């Protein structure tokens, strides 16, 4: 995802001389191609995220489009007030790009786990929030935010993630990764691959399970999502994020006023359970959080059995 991002950004920057990239002294072996190609529009501001966010706002208010890049919590939570006041209040054209979504930095420990970021970013006024599930969505998201003119948040995992579906036609709309109408899993981020595994397993057990990637958390295309889940006996949300404030909360809020709405269950990282002090790979931590493919299968079978 990181490589796809920087390739897409470099392409956009070659077309638009007003695109800048700032980093907080992170991005080794990722950002160099951009820095080499656009040295006067690339800046490592040092390990100082508040300064980075404020500088980005100042450059953007001078007519530029500014990307800021760092790991998970650093360009988001560390400088949250700068994003709220300096960027969003002024409508400054700043794009926050975080790598290490969820447990992507697994064994690096809790400080490097980005578990609340998407929800918190979603609360800021006027920002657009994208959580792509695969490199194709990263490419589409980078292109989209480079020209949107709006504050944006792009949540990336790390690298090596596979493409999970057909070409992206409209990133703002849900993207069907697997057809299925009885159960629809709405997933955001690369954890969608686990949804696909679970759907395959359930298919062998006679269940018709669809998987839909919801990469645009804000603005949420509620009508398109309703269409995607219409007629389903069960909707499952799946996210590499704590349940509060993320995909599940957004979906629950979207459907809450509907007279007829499908039964819904949310799968994400539990707030206390996410506060792990153990080392572990991303895969192991997701399993421990109850998000293994087999746990997804079990949750769906349990929910269907209760009906």
Partner 1 sequence: MVHAAKASHIGGCLSMADILAVLYTRILRIDPADPQASSRDRFVLSKGHATAIMYATLAECGFFSLAELDTYCRDGSNFTGHVSHAVPGVEVSTGSLGHGLPIAIGMALAARHDGAGSRVFCLLSDGECDEGSNWEGILFAPHHKLSNLCVIVDFNKIQSFGSVAEVLNLDPFAEKWKAFGWQVEEIDGHDLAALERVLSAVPAASGRPTVVIAHTVKGKGVSFMENKLEWHYRSPSDELLAQALAEVGA
Binding site for partner 1 (CB under 8 A): 40-41, 43, 45-46, 48, 50-64, 66, 81-82, 85-86, 89-90
Cα separation, 91 vs 36, whole angstroms = 30
Cα separation, 106 vs 108, whole angstroms = 6
Query: 85 or 107, CB closer to partner 1?
Result: 85
CB of 48 to partner 1, least distance (A): 4
Q: Cβ–Cβ contacts within 10 Å for residue 169, how many?
A: 8
Cα separation, 102 vs 276, whole angstroms = 12
Cα separation, 235 vs 227, whole angstroms = 12
Cis peptide before 219 (omega within 30 of 0): yes
Query: 30 or 61, CB closer to partner 1?
Result: 61
Query: 94 or 220, CB closer to partner 1?
Result: 94
Instruction: Quickly tell me which residue has 């953007």 as its tokens.
Output: 60
Cα separation, 211 vs 181, whole angstroms = 9
Query: 57 or 177, CB closer to partner 1?
Result: 57
Count Cα atoms within 13 angstroms, Cβ side, for 93: 18
CB of 27 to partner 1, least distance (A): 18
CB of 115 to partner 1, least distance (A): 25
CB of 54 to partner 1, least distance (A): 2
CB of 298 to partner 1, least distance (A): 47
Query: 46 or 160, CB closer to partner 1?
Result: 46
- Angstrom CA distances, 258 to 71, 195, 245, stand at 38, 26, 20
CB of 81 to partner 1, least distance (A): 6
CB of 150 to partner 1, least distance (A): 17
Query: 90 or 143, CB closer to partner 1?
Result: 90
Question: Is residue 273 within 8 Å of residue 282, measured between CB atoms?
Answer: no
Please write down the long-range contacts of 201-204, taking CB distance under 8 Å and 24 or more positions apart: 201/293, 201/294, 201/297, 202/297, 202/300, 202/301
Query: 82 or 122, CB closer to partner 1?
Result: 82
């Amino acid at each position: 995802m990181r490589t796809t991002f920087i390739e897409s950004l470099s392409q956009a920057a070659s077309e638009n001389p007003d695109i800048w990239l700032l980093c907080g002294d992170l991005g080794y072996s990722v950002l160099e191609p951009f820095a080499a190609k656009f040295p006067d529009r690339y800046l490592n501001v040092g390990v100082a995220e508040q300064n980075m966010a404020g500088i980005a706002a100042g450059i953007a208010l001078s007519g530029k489009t500014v990307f800021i890049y760092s790991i998970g919590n650093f360009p988001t939570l560390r400088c949250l007030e700068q994003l709220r006041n300096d960027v969003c209040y002024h409508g400054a054209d700043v794009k926050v790009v975080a790598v290490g979504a969820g447990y992507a930095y697994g064994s690096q420990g809790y400080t490097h786990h980005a578990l609340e970021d998407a929800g918190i970013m979603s609360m800021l006024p006027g920002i657009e929030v994208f959580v792509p599930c695969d490199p194709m969505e990263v490419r589409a998201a980078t292109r989209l935010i480079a020209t949107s003119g709006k504050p944006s948040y792009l949540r990336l995992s790390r690298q090596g993630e596979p493409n999970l579906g057909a070409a992206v036609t409209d990133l703002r709309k849900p993207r069907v990764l697997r057809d299925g109408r009885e159960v629809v899993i709405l997933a955001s981020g690369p954890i969608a691959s686990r949804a696909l595994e679970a759907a395959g397993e359930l298919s062998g057990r006679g269940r018709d399970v669809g998987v839909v990637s919801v990469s645009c958390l804000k603005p949420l295309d509620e009508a398109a999502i309703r269409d995607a889940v219409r007629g389903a006996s069960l909707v499952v949300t799946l996210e590499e994020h704590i349940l509060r404030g993320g995909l599940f909360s957004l979906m629950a809020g979207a459907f809450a006023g509907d007279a007829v709405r499908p039964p819904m269950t949310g799968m994400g990282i539990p707030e206390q359970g996410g506060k792990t002090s153990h080392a572990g790979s991303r895969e192991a931590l997701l399993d421990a959080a109850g998000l293994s493919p087999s746990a997804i299968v079990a949750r769906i079978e349990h929910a269907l059995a209760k009906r």
